[in-house]
Amino acid sequence: MIDTLGELVPIAEEAGVRIALEPLHPMFTASRSVVNTLRQALDIVAPFPAEQVGVVIDTFNVWWDPELTEQLGRAGRENRIAALQIADWSRDHEHGPFLTRALPGDGIIDLPAILAAVDHAGFRGPIEIEIFNDQLWLQPGQHIADEAMKSMSAILRAISSSRSISEMGRQYSTQ
């Protein structure tokens, strides 16, 4: 993987694009990725300049990691956080694990703690709400965007003691 990144970095640099590696939850190991922890992702990108190669923090994929807070700190110190994707972990996996992400605050992830750690790490970049959920997709897009905005606003208000967290909330987009 490092050799492949080494081949891609000059191409991305020429195109003005930063490459970002996203660790995926271990349930996706067999079909999507062998990079499961933030530590693994950071170790892989370490040989490359931070402005060229970073990592994506996806709450759905990393929330379970016992080293998450420590590795978020490392990612911040190394200026590696390229993007933050937010989704909650639904208790209901009736439709399979890939399509059951929940709106922020509707699941079991401690999103305020993760967002506070990302903020403490110094991240000031884009935030996405990334909801792969076939049941939510049946609803009008504007309704889901409005619900996502309400749920994120509530979470950000809950941790608004940090001004930068509030600023982060104004930057997120929905997918």
What pLDDT score was predicted for residue 158?
81
Whole-prediction pTM: 0.84
Task: Give the helix ranges, DSSP H, for 51-140.
Answer: 59-62, 68-77, 111-120
Q: Give mean pLDDT, residues 115-137.
A: 90
pLDDT band at 134; cut points 50, 70, 90: confident
What pLDDT score was predicted for residue 96?
62
The token pair at 40 is: 């693994």
Angle at 112 between CA 106 and CA 118, to 5 degrees: 125
- Condensed to tens digits (0 to 9), the pLDDT of residues 1-53 reads 789 999 999 999 999 999 999 999 877 766 667 899 999 999 999 999 999 99
Kindly report the CATH class assigned to 2-174. alpha beta
Comparing 173 with 157, the larger pLDDT belongs to: 157
- Condensed to tens digits (0 to 9), the pLDDT of residues 69-119 reads 999 999 999 999 999 999 998 877 665 666 778 889 889 999 999 999 999
Partners of 150 in the beta sheet? none
Partners of 173 in the beta sheet? 128
What pLDDT score was predicted for residue 126?
86
Q: Which residues contact 37 (CB under 8 A, 6 or more apart)?
A: 23, 62, 65, 67, 71
Average pLDDT of every residue of the chain? 86
pLDDT cut 70: percent of the chain above it:
85
What pLDDT score was predicted for residue 161?
56
DSSP summary character for residue 108: S
Strand spans (E) along 3-158: 19-21, 53-58, 81-86, 88-89, 101-102, 127-129
Secondary structure element (H or E) that encloses residue 107, with its range: none
Does residue 151 surpass a pLDDT of 60? Answer: yes
What pLDDT score was predicted for residue 95?
59
* Domain spans, the chain: 2-174
